[in-house]
Structure 1
Amino acid sequence: MPLDAFALALGSAFLHALWNLILGRERDPEAATAIALCAAVAVFAPVAVLRWDADSGVWPYVVVTSTLQLAYFALLATAYRRAEVSVVYPIARGMAPVLVLVFGLAVLGTGVGPGQAVGVCLVGLGVLLVRGLGVGRVDARGAGAAFGLAVASCIAAYTLVDKHGVEHADPIVYLELGMVPATLGYVGFLLATRSGAARLRATAGPLPALAGLLSFVAYALVLAALLRAPAAAVAAVRETSVLIAALLAGPLLGEAVGPVRLGGAALVVGGVALITLG
């Protein structure tokens, strides 16, 4: 893997972890997510217009992916209000490629190599360590694990959809087309709730807006890395965001991230690397 591609993929991983940490530290993650989405869509709309390249076949994919993106952000924001980022994020990011692999095996009949099988086992063990090994736990970690799995399901679903949808449009145009309806739906739902407008006004600020911009920049860095290296290698490096988020959750969010949870996050990274490279 060329050094420049490695640097781009690693930079994307850092930014992806960072924007999640920013949303996780907000007092009202749901409102902060709305601000982040609006900022990102507004700033990158001119870029999408200038790069416009889409055919008519893109619209069915836009409908599906925007619905899945809406569910993804709604679940993610709720998860960060009820649980710790260092629990939700590793499980969400780690289980998504496992679910994609399982779907390919069960529905598409694709094979699973020995490296991928080991990778699934490592992810599973890592998730257990991140969630905690206590039997019958119903605390915040248990809720975080449940939300993480739900978020992972959304990621896996829109990954499978976008794999084909992006064939019909420029990647940045496709991302913008999918995010606009999701943003309108998310903000509209929040405004329809009690005190929704007041929550948005109270949360509006530079940090939530920055989180939205970082999410798009992280994606742009991945696109640049993909031009320089194979997709599997880029995906493997990008998953280091799991470990980055776990490492930074302590100093930035005050979460109690001990060696066991860090070890679990590291296993998730290793397992995903085996799955993507296998």
Structure 2
Amino acid sequence: MSVLAAGMSGTVVMAVLAAALMHAGWNAMLKTKGDAFLSTVAVAVSAGLLCALALPWLPQPAPASWPYIAASALIHVVYYALLMATYRDGDVSLAYPLMRGCAPLLVASFGLAFMGERLGAMQWLSICLICGGVLAMTGRARTNTAVSRRTTLLALASAATIAAYTLVDGAGVRLSHAPAAYTMWIFAATAPGVAALALRRRRELLPFVRSNPALPGGGALSVGAYWVSLWAMTQAPVAAVAALRETSILFANAIAVLVLRERVSPLRVAGAALIACGAAAMRLH
């Protein structure tokens, strides 16, 4: 495929950057609601419900893509379980960059074996710049305690699941010929599994959602962000899209400074600069 050898078009780059902004938006929403566990469950379940309502009105995925949808939904449930375990007592400033920074490198490393994708030198440079910038965000996180070591291991396991569902969906969405419905089936199929993870706190969930009515909007942002990313994977190499969507951490830091009034260290500024350079290089052939 010629798209695998070429640089990403301007349209695809802008679309993925928009998806990254949406991703940062719903993740910032989780942080502002106080309970990351219940917020994550509420976003995932509301996303599944919204997708279930929309699916009857959409062209359905081709039969060849259904095994990929099933596999992706299962991997997503495992991902959410790991994510909840990671955030239960871990340092988010350590876990999140590790998860998001390592996953694209894993996708790029295994993409050739799984999908036959070959990346050019500029694409590898872009991926390394973006991932390096994301990983730089861990610079001031605590890493010398037992809890931090556990958080690191869980974050790396989460990165592996992110890479797994990215590769599965990159292949599946190309077979589906219906990126919107493919995406929505994944969310609809994942929601029951995520709800099961929250059974021990089921009595808290509904009151929590009632007191935070914006969370279903986070579900819509989550669906939109992944839908655009999967569409982009039909137009460009999966590894390149996977790396570019991690510019979400750049937008997340902007939201932290401008909206949440947080202070950003010089190391995070340097990381943001690397991410920006990687995003710019992704447009080049």
Bin of the TM-score, shorter chain as denominator length? 0.7 to 0.9
- Opposite residue 197 of structure 1, the aligned amino acid is R
Q: Is 1:31 matched with 2:30? A: no
Structure 2 gap segments, 5+ residues each: 1-7
1:203 corresponds to: 208
Alignment counterpart, residue 173 of structure 1, candidates 172, 181, 195: 181
Structure 1 gap segments, 5+ residues each: none
1:93 corresponds to: 100
CA distance in 2, matches of 1:66, 1:180: 9
Task: Spell out, residue by residue over 1:102-140, the C-alpha distance to the aligned partner (whole angstroms, 9 max, x if none).
Answer: 113567786564335544653564355321278962387
Shift of 1:93: 2.7
CA distance in 2, matches of 1:9, 1:24: 23
The more displaced of 73-82 and 43-52 is 73-82
The more displaced of 126-135 and 9-18 is 126-135
TM-score between both structures, scaled by the size of structure 1: 0.78
Q: 1:93·1:152 contact (CA, 8 Å) conserved in 2?
A: yes
Task: Spell out, residue by residue over 1:190-243, the C-alpha distance to the aligned partner (whole angstroms, 9 max, x if none).
Answer: 11x2xx12221342131322211111122344567789xx53686665443221
Alignment counterpart, residue 193 of structure 2, candidates 179, 182, 185: 185
Alignment counterpart, residue 14 of structure 1, candidates 15, 21, 40: 21
Shift of 1:161: 0.7
1:77-156 matched pairs, under 5 angstroms? 77-83=84-90, 85-104=92-111, 113-119=120-126, 121-123=128-130, 125-132=132-139, 137-138=144-145, 145-156=152-163
1:235-250 matched pairs, under 5 angstroms? 238-250=245-257
Sort the Cα spacing of 1:224 and 1:176 in 2 relative to 1 into closer, same or farther, 3 A.
closer
Number of residues of Structure 1 aligned to a counterpart in Structure 2: 273
Percent of aligned positions with the same letter in both sequences? 34
Shift of 1:88: 3.7
CA distance in 2, matches of 1:7, 1:110: 22
CA distance in 2, matches of 1:136, 1:8: 35
Sort the Cα spacing of 1:72 and 1:249 in 2 relative to 1 into closer, same or farther, 3 A.
farther
Q: Is 1:231 matched with 2:236? A: yes
2:50 corresponds to: 43
Q: 2:102·2:159 contact (CA, 8 Å) conserved in 1?
A: yes
Sort the Cα spacing of 1:91 and 1:114 in 2 relative to 1 into closer, same or farther, 3 A.
same
Sort the Cα spacing of 1:271 and 1:142 in 2 relative to 1 into closer, same or farther, 3 A.
farther
Shift of 1:36: 1.1
Shift of 1:158: 0.8
